[in-house]
Amino acid sequence: MSDLEIAAVITNILGVWLTARRIRWCWPVNVLAVLLYGWIFYEAKLYSDTLLQGVFVVLQGYGWWRWSQGGLADGKVRVARLPLREGLLGLLCGAIGGLLLGALMHRYTDASAPWMDALLTAFSLVASVWAARKYVVSWWLWIVLDCLYVGLFLFKDLHLTAGLYAGFVVLAVYGLRAWQQDLARQEHPRPACQPS
């Protein structure tokens, strides 16, 4: 456990909490978090996750832009349901991307756990795009991915990071419930009280 890993954990917790609360400042906080973890993953020879952090920087900009659109009166973004076709396409892209990246990492690098790292990387991109597009189901995908990441990081002796991702599971459950409640309120708003 290093000072860098401690700083990355704290920054990530803040970023995910802000995301769960639908506060758009989560995106710049998450930029710092992914830059810190880019370095940590490079040192751990998790090259797919290192590349993922670079792509995440770009996705943070996309998320910031998307979340600047369609805000509610209380300053929080409006969430939505994932269209089935877009969901299936995202999952297909994640699977194909993960297999291609895994093959490249397995063949051309000394990557540790190239297949698992690549699949988690590809599906993390899918989850990030879904979160940027404000789809509630993004939290379900994050829950699955974060559980798998806990195992990968324990395997790599990144115990603090494994603990962080276990915490992400809890935060993702919180985010899922909060976004589901917000979606229900959006779809079924309570009528304003009428004076008699």
43 alpha carbon, distance to own chain's centre: 21
Question: Is 52:124 a contact under the CB 8 Å cutoff?
Answer: yes
Backbone φ and ψ of 71, nearest 5°: -70, 155
- The confidence score (pLDDT) of residue 72 equals 57
pLDDT < 50 positions in the chain = none
Q: Where are the domains of the chain?
A: 3-184
Q: What's the pTM?
A: 0.82
- The confidence score (pLDDT) of residue 112 equals 86
Amino acid identity of residue 18, one-letter, is L
